[in-house]
Chains A and B, each alone.
Chain A
Amino acid sequence: MYVAVKGGERAIDNAHAWLAEERRGDAAVDELTLDQIREQLALTVARVMAEGSLYDPDLAALAIKQARGDLIEAVFLVRAYRTTLPRFGASEPVDTGEMACDRRISATFKDAPGGQVLGPTFDYTHRLLDFKLAADGEAPATPQGEAGDATAPHITAFLGDEGLIQDEPESDATPPDLTREPMELPADRPLRLQALTRADEGFLLGLAYSTQRGYARNHAFVGELRIGAVVVEMEIPELGFAIELGEITLTECETVNQFTGSKTEPPQFTRGYGLVFGQTERKAISMALVDRALRWKELGEDDQGAPAQDEEFVLMHADNIQATGFLEHIKLPHYVDFQSELELVRKLRRAAQRDETPPEEAAE
């Protein structure tokens, strides 16, 4: 029997009013502005843009404020907003070779043309809490160097010139879009990359780490990691030519992995690829490792039964909004479902009790 339940409106309204008050915190403390969040919590903003799959730092800052810093809740808000936007079109593929790099390092070539540029990195810090920041947050003057005009070439291109690394054949194929059509498996690489770039950072990090520990080990080197700004171009239908729509910050990671080869082809390195909105280095490296692990079929490798090789396992569980939606719904009222379970378990217990009763007693 279906029982409609109503009620709780007043409690819900009051809960939301209290939520707003708690969000604000102690009113004697200055309120956070969106500018402060965008400028001073930039890596949080980057993460919300990447997993929310929408590049807009102001919106991400608003979502973070509204969600009281709960990042998955903030991603949820951004995703929900995204669905209300009309789609004007798709950009030309961005040219990361033309990136204005803040950071660009290679773990494989010390003397890479263009040099090793560390950028604003946490690397080589001592990870000691800086109590000066608690007192005042004034930044020291930043040293400046002589900037050349040249953009840095991709390091994998040097290996490619010698045929030492597997080629990435260019194409103009229209990629599948999981925001328009439900994801279908098996997924081709463009669909996998879309799912991975918006995936939960923690989930990808765990999977990537598992490949390093031996679950589908493919021995990755970071051939190159770069962070910087690229322009986004789109062909404008009413003009008939492409213009730049804006500039976005991206993090790109190219891994160089161990060999493949066959009777017809000599051994060569293989690749994994990560490209993520914002300054999101851990995520981009994780994405490249998981991308590489998922390529086992096309590279003719063995299925080792490792989680990172299992396309369905990875792609169907990487989205934190899907995951949290299903996970959190079980806390919402299930009174009627539960009533029927309760009935059932009582019935089973009655039956079990009858079976356990000795026959002579039952006869009485």
Chain B
Amino acid sequence: MAEAAEQTERNRWMSLLAKAPAEEVTQRWEALGGDPEFTVLRAPEVGGVMVRGRAGATGAPFNLGEMTVTRCSVRLSCGTVGHAYVQGRDKGHARRAALADALMQTDRAGEVRAALLAPIEALLDGRRQARAARAAATKVDFFTMARGED
């Protein structure tokens, strides 16, 4: 049970790091003090992931097309391993995300959350809300005209 909760937590921060704009991660990373000591387990590698959809939105899966993804794995000097799969082709983004994943499993988690994850989450939320507010303004209000024969 505790393991499942931990996994959910980790899933959340890894997902956030994957969706974060690369330049945002880079900037905030410097504020965090840059890279800690680490060894590379898997050097940043650019690849593709086949995105799938479902026929009729709910039916049989089909291949929609690929997206670019960069992955990286690192080990901190304390032995903690971090992984990253991030959208796009920015190798620095993948390395920093893997390091952040590792640091989040150490006692520096609070610091990383405050300086990196929380601001990124706020940024993405803000962007989403800005679009949602614009979409809401284009919502149609229908009104029915009085019909002549009634």
Binding site for B on A (CB under 8 A): 49-50, 53-56, 58-59, 82, 85-94, 96-97, 100-103, 110-111, 115-121, 142-148, 154, 156, 168-179, 189-191, 193-194, 197-198, 229, 231-232, 234, 236, 238-239, 241-248, 250, 252, 254, 271, 273, 275, 277
Distance in Å: Cβ of A117 to nearest Cβ of chain B: 5
Number of A-B contacts (CB under 8 A): 234
10 A-B pairs besides A101-B135, A156-B56 with CB distance below 8 A are A58-B88, A86-B47, A118-B138, A145-B134, A175-B62, A190-B55, A190-B63, A238-B73, A243-B15, A246-B18
- Across the interface, B136 reaches (CB within 8 A) one of A55, A89, A117, A273, namely A117
Check A86 against B45 for contact (C-beta < 8 Å). yes
- Across the interface, B142 reaches (CB within 8 A) one of A110, A193, A198, A239, namely A110
Check B137 against A145 for contact (C-beta < 8 Å). yes
Of B46, B71, B134, the most chain A CB neighbours within 10 A belong to: B134
Check B139 against A172 for contact (C-beta < 8 Å). no
Interface-facing stretch out of B29-37, B103-111, B112-120, B124-132: B124-132
Set of chain B residues within 8 Å of A174, measured between Cβ atoms: 61
Set of chain B residues within 8 Å of A171, measured between Cβ atoms: 59-61
Set of chain B residues within 8 Å of A190, measured between Cβ atoms: 55, 60-63
Check B53 against A243 for contact (C-beta < 8 Å). no
Check A144 against B71 for contact (C-beta < 8 Å). no
- Across the interface, A168 reaches (CB within 8 A) one of B50, B56, B65, B136, namely B56
> A94–B52 Cα gap in the complex (Å)?
6
Q: List 20 A-B contacts (CB under 8 A).
A: A56-B88, A89-B50, A94-B52, A96-B53, A111-B142, A145-B133, A145-B135, A145-B139, A148-B136, A154-B58, A168-B54, A168-B56, A177-B63, A179-B66, A197-B64, A232-B49, A232-B51, A243-B14, A245-B69, A245-B85
Closest residue of A by beta carbon distance from B71? A88
Binding site for A on B (CB under 8 A): 7, 10-11, 14-15, 18-19, 45-69, 71, 73, 83, 85-89, 128-140, 142
> A97–B53 Cα gap in the complex (Å)?
11
Of B46, B65, B68, the most chain A CB neighbours within 10 A belong to: B65
Check B57 against A252 for contact (C-beta < 8 Å). yes
